[in-house]
Chains A and B, each alone.
Chain A
Amino acid sequence: MRFVDEFRDPQAADALVKAIRRTVTRPWTLMEVCGGQTHSIVRFGIDQLLPGSLTLVHGPGCPVCVTPIEQIDRAIALARRSDVVLCSYGDMLRVPGSGTDMLAERAAGADVRIVYSPMDALAIAQKTPDKQVVFFAVGFETTAPPNAMAVFQARAMGVPNFSVLVSHVLVPPAIGAVLDDPDCLVNGFLAAGHVCTIMGCGEYEPIARERGVPIVVTGFEPVDILAGILRCVGMLESGEIGVANQYARMVRHEGNPSAQRLCAQVFETVDRKWRGLGSIPQSGWDLRDEYADYDAARRFGLLAMTADEPAECLSGLVLQGRLKPSDCPMFGTVCTPERPLGATMVSSEGACAAYFRYRRRTGVSE
């Protein structure tokens, strides 16, 4: 398959591994920000090929994992209403709320539907005028433009029974929060390539400059990730600070300006609570007042709903790269995909899920 096979090529990967080994002279810790990269690293065993002095830690970039628990509870409350069709991306459905998850609600009779795009949800709303259709709009900057487009279209076409439950989060403030931690050991970052296809590279430059770290925009296939690692350790070894784009086949420096304009038109930057991480200032997007009619939380009076995360779940430490999933005392015992304590155990981008699925037993070195 073009654009995949050549980035899973064993010879290309091997050449990069050898180059990394030649480059590294000191211990370094890199954080891959995106959960998709975490899964690639663990699935392909990329970390097993790296020199021992190079440590990869997994970052907060799993949108399903950081969606606050009360937002899941709100979605469940909506799903339980007989007048609501709740539409969501598939991997939100297993995420535990305070008491239950959306798969269980669907089994109990709720109309919960998996869609591939918010535009599908908008189409359902047009076809089902006697029901309220709510799209659970979570994600980083990557998924924001289609969500903005759905709301924009709903208003333009006058679809009164469509709304979105918004929980958008932003990557740069999350990197800032990781670096703010006094115990932070991260020397350099692999930035999330898909986010940068939308937002470009510019907003990472102040972070790199002010915090003195290299940030390398990186893709998701093994060869992409190894090339990102090589670039990042090269910058660390030579003391270079700044932003490098190692995913240029997808990412332009300026990103996608029309998507950015659409997002700016529909969303405003707000303080946002992150599951496991707490509230981070100016770290999310919410609907602007002129689109408030399409905000499900306001339409259905859910803003007052709050919930506390289970204290025994340490996913906050996992999301900051401070705890390896397999070192968590709950991992694989109290917390499993069947009975998860937190979202990191069930999301397809969650670090705990990756370790559970690919590394749980003995015999495969970690």
Chain B
Amino acid sequence: MSERNAGWSVCPIPISRYPRVVMAHGGGGRIMARLISDMFRAAFDNAELNQGHDGAVLDVGAHAVTGGRIAMTTDSYVVHPLRFPGSTIGAMAINGTANDLAMCCAEPRWLTTGFILEEGLAMETLWEMVCSMADAARIAGVHIVTGDTKVVEHGRGDGMYINTAGVGLVRPGADSRPQRVTPGDAVILSGDVGRHGMAVMTVREGLEFEAEITSDCAPVWPTVRAMIDAGIDIHCLRDATRGGLASAVVEIAETSGTSIHLTESAIEVQPQVAAACELLGFDPIYVANEGRFVAFVPAAQADAAVSAMADTLPGARPAVIGRVEACDPGMVALRSVIGGERIVDMLSGEQLPRIC
């Protein structure tokens, strides 16, 4: 926070003239140019962006480590509220896209950003989000190299939406597509689940709990890199974002044509998250995460993988939560804490708070 405030105090944005976003900030004229140069370029400052070109020219060849393959992805961020315990829409827009690249065993390098701003958004809020993007990009080691700004009329947006697209450099030899998941693989979860979704939910719905729930939003590339560097033959990676752990695992089972057996007692859920989920009738394995992923690795390498992951995740406890089998292709089963078994499937829609 102090860092952000420091940036704020020196930033020359024309806040005195425009305390709020006006239509002209997306109008293509001087006012928009000032916003881009004084706010976005000032905050994101990097060589590619500073080319001042229509697009960014990226020197992929300078990174000999690639083996010639890049990974690409895009995601849009519409979370409301814009800030919530542990993170913001800005940090999510960086980490979410960078993490999708990491799931391809690609080192995230370059991101684009598209802003859709609502007329009337406080300039101070926009600046806070831009600073949190800049902070997250610095931590994740990515450059925001080009972007776009549009403004919609008041009432036609939710403050701001952000789209980011990203390019990453795939590690030589790496192949983490779901088709590589094989019976006998161990399923590893990188830490506790359910925090991001419940952090947003508690703020959005004005729910208060004794212990604050904070989002797990964070870059995961350092963890993936540690696994690769440790020589783990990563068969597949999938981040457990929307739809939570359960949906991620079901997707993998269906795409790979295997069956995945999970052990409920191995899946860590923080007590305050478990309590909030109990209260609302939510199942934490369906709640969104922004910094957790599942890895499928050969069973013989499971311990080495867990240990490599743990070294990069202070405070988190990555763990083997299940195994891949050949029977019943596409099915995910979960052994409950008391020893009964049930299937795990995707939900038909979002979880809704129950009546009692």
Contact = CB atoms under 8 A, between A and B. Distances in A.
Given A44-B338, A45-B336, A45-B342, A361 B331 contact: yes
A24 to B, nearest CB: 18
Interface in A154-210: 194
B23 interface: no
Interface of A: 1, 4, 8, 10, 13-14, 36, 42-49, 63-64, 89-94, 103, 114, 116, 138-140, 142-143, 194, 222-223, 336-338, 348-349, 357-365
Contact of B338 (A10, A92, A114, A365): A10
22 contacts: A1-B274, A4-B275, A13-B339, A43-B342, A44-B340, A45-B341, A47-B340, A48-B341, A49-B340, A63-B355, A93-B352, A94-B349, A94-B352, A103-B349, A143-B355, A143-B356, A222-B337, A337-B349, A338-B348, A348-B281, A358-B342, A360-B345
B174 interface: no
- Across chains A and B, which 6 residue pairs bring their CB atoms closest together, nearest first? A45-B340, A90-B352, A337-B348, A358-B342, A90-B353, A13-B338
B356 A139 contact: yes
Nearest to B327: A363
A358 B271 CA distance: 24
B59 interface: no
Given A360-B343, A362-B328, A91 B338 contact: no
A49 B341 contact: no
Contact of B348 (A47, A116, A336): A336
A222 B265 CA distance: 14
Nearest to A90: B352
B192 to A, nearest CB: 13
Given A1-B278, A139-B356, A336-B348, A116 B343 contact: no
A364 B356 CA distance: 28
B274 A4 contact: yes
Nearest to A142: B356
A143 B355 CA distance: 8
Nearest to B335: A45
Contacts of B53: none
Interface in B262-283: 265, 271, 274-275, 278, 281
Contacts of A365: 341
B333 interface: yes
Given A45-B339, A46-B340, 19 more contacts: A1-B271, A13-B339, A45-B336, A89-B354, A90-B354, A90-B355, A91-B352, A91-B353, A91-B355, A114-B353, A139-B356, A143-B355, A222-B338, A348-B281, A358-B343, A362-B331, A363-B259, A363-B333, A364-B333
Contacts of B337: 8, 10, 44, 222
A195 to B, nearest CB: 9
Contacts of B349: 94, 103, 337
A94 B347 CA distance: 13
